[in-house]
Amino acid sequence: MAATKILEAHRKSFVSQRALAEILQLLPEEEDQPATSRATLKRKRDVKMNLATPYGPLWKELTGFTMKDGPPLKVSYVDPLALLWHACNQGGGFQEFLQNCAARSPCSPRQPWDICLYVDEVSPGNQLKPLNERKLQVLYFSLKQFGGLALSKEDSWFVLTAVRSTDVKRLTDGMTQLMKRHSFVSASRWPSAVGDKGASVKKVFAKKMSEFKSASSEAMALYPVMRAFLQEKLPSVRDHECRECCRCFFILCEVLDLLYKTAAPQDPSNLAAVLEQKIAAHLELFKQCYGVEKVIPKHHLNMHLGDLLRRHGVLLSCFVHERRHKEIKRYANNLDSMQAGSEKHILEMELEEHLKNLLVFSERRTGLVNPKAAAGLVQSAFCDFFSLPGCPGLLVSMSCHVGNGRLCKREDVVVVRAPNGESVAQVWFHVEFNGHGYTCMSDWRDLGRNRFQTCEEPVFRATEDICRLCAFKTEGDRALVIPLSMPM
């Protein structure tokens, strides 16, 4: 049925409940779909989400809080065991992924799995309001045994509960009490894997009359390019203090390079030791360059990262939760008013969409993105390069997932493994033939000092040979190439 397909379809773009109701009203009336109001949509969601599982009901409530003021607080939350059971019971990609995790690291009373909790505030609505009563404290959970790669994906983190920030403030000891009560407690161009961060990074220096500021994700995209810029300018710098400040920044970049590796480290103990040494060296030089008064508490917290890596074998990045916030925020933004009980309504909408996403969950995204049958010119070039009589079924796409799922698009610059070492090339397009992936690219000639001569002569290489993504800056018929530290 048309209405059923619209309701159950996996949507890439968000549609508010009011807009969805209006869309459904335009469809021809069907006997089994007579009503299309927002109230009907909510009733259908309530029926769909109020599930019974072998571990009890999906939704539970927490009461009995010690309040500083106001009426008693009642918190709705999702039972983690019931949610994991249902996510597996519906089949799909997450079921297969969890089976692989259990085979790799069996859960038993002697070796139980570890739960990871993360709590942060989400601020929907008008950020300039003096009193924003829509703010929510959102609590996420996942399992450490999923592995660092999977834990960097938004869909591997489940929303446990959401509580209005104004209600948390009414609690004695605030969020601490809530946690205790839970039993499951512009010239440079960036690769496509960085998303739209490259565009926003170019604007961080735009304001001339204020201090330098950037979002964390922008800073992570910016630092490799900033390092390359300072390395070029450093030989002409004569001031000793300025040179020391640059050296301090370079050591910080080395720390960030190491932190990229902590999601899936090959040797956690050795990496932890190197990380501790680099962090200590950076903090000592930071104090010399900027003074003790500039040291902040987070500097001290960095000193514990090595020990945490040694104990747990992995460090979790919080950027994944920032991306996860967007889901909660877009539902909260589309509510006309945040009345009592709105938190559960937001959780239900988020959970409904999340369960759909888990059907196609994959730890590693692979293959072409939206492939199409290759045109005659592409087929001819492919056959000529590999001396083939024909290539029936050849697929082509401008985008492809490489490595552990990084997106690689047309015009991205990459580092490619070759029999005689590594080389730099620019991507033209990607193809797939008989289950194997190939990338059409033009090799760039190395001129030294990260400078390369650009070229327009295409060759085909195995897509799996792409080992690093790069930012680059064109300089006429040459280019400055900056390999990124993000793991592939």
Q: What is the CATH number of the domain that holds 409?
A: 2.30.30.490
Residue 336 gets which letter from DSSP?
S
- Whether residues 273 and 323 share a domain: the answer is no
Which residues have a Cβ under 8 Å from the Cβ of 162 and sit 6 or more positions away?
122, 136, 137, 138, 139, 328, 343, 346, 347
Predicted confidence band of residue 411 (pLDDT cuts 50, 70, 90): very high
Q: Residue 201: inside a domain, yes or no?
A: no
- Whether residues 384 and 471 share a domain: the answer is yes
Q: Count how many Cα atoms sit within 13 Å of the Cα of residue 391 in the half-sphere of its side chain.
A: 26
pLDDT tens digits, 328-339: 888 887 776 666
What pLDDT, on a 0 to 100 scale, did the predictor assign at position 184?
33
**pLDDT(24) > 80:** no
What pLDDT, on a 0 to 100 scale, did the predictor assign at position 393?
94
Q: Residue 454: inside a domain, yes or no?
A: yes
405/363 Cα distance (integer angstroms):
8
- With a pLDDT cut of 70, the percent of the chain lying above it is 79
**pLDDT(253) > 80:** yes
Q: What global pTM score does this model have?
A: 0.71
Specify the amino acid at residue 260: Y
- Whether residues 248 and 388 share a domain: the answer is no
- Whether residues 466 and 444 share a domain: the answer is yes
Q: Residue 118: inside a domain, yes or no?
A: yes
Of the candidates 302, 334, 359, which is a domain's last residue?
Answer: 359
- Helices (H) and strands (E) in the chain — how many of each? 17, 19
123/338 Cα distance (integer angstroms):
12
- Whether residues 86 and 172 share a domain: the answer is yes
- Whether residues 164 and 73 share a domain: the answer is yes
Q: Residue 371: inside a domain, yes or no?
A: yes
Mean pLDDT score, 447-466:
93
Residue bearing the bigger pLDDT, 194 or 440 = 440
- Whether residues 73 and 154 share a domain: the answer is yes
Q: Residue 386: inside a domain, yes or no?
A: yes
CB contact at 8 A, 373 and 348: no
pLDDT tens digits, 170-219: 888 787 777 765 543 356 666 766 655 555 666 655 554 456 677 777 78
- Whether residues 38 and 95 share a domain: the answer is no
Counting beta carbons within 10 angstroms of the beta carbon of residue 128, is it exposed (0 to 12), middle (13 to 18) or buried (19 or more)? exposed
Q: Residue 217: inside a domain, yes or no?
A: no
Q: Residue 488: inside a domain, yes or no?
A: no
Residue bearing the bigger pLDDT, 336 or 56 = 56
- Whether residues 60 and 178 share a domain: the answer is yes
Closest CA to 432 of 406, 464, 476: 464
Tokens of 97: 């992924």
- Whether residues 254 and 326 share a domain: the answer is no
Residue bearing the bigger pLDDT, 174 or 417 = 417
- Whether residues 59 and 18 share a domain: the answer is no
Mean pLDDT of the chain: 83
Which residues have a Cβ under 8 Å from the Cβ of 105 and sit 6 or more positions away?
111, 113, 145
Tell me which residue range forms the domain holding 145. 54-185+316-359
DSSP string, 298-317: HHHHHTTHHHHHHHHS----
Mean pLDDT score, 248-272:
92
What pLDDT, on a 0 to 100 scale, did the predictor assign at position 317?
83
Q: Residue 198: inside a domain, yes or no?
A: no
- Whether residues 351 and 414 share a domain: the answer is no
Q: How many domains does the chain have?
A: 4
Mean pLDDT score, 50-70:
85
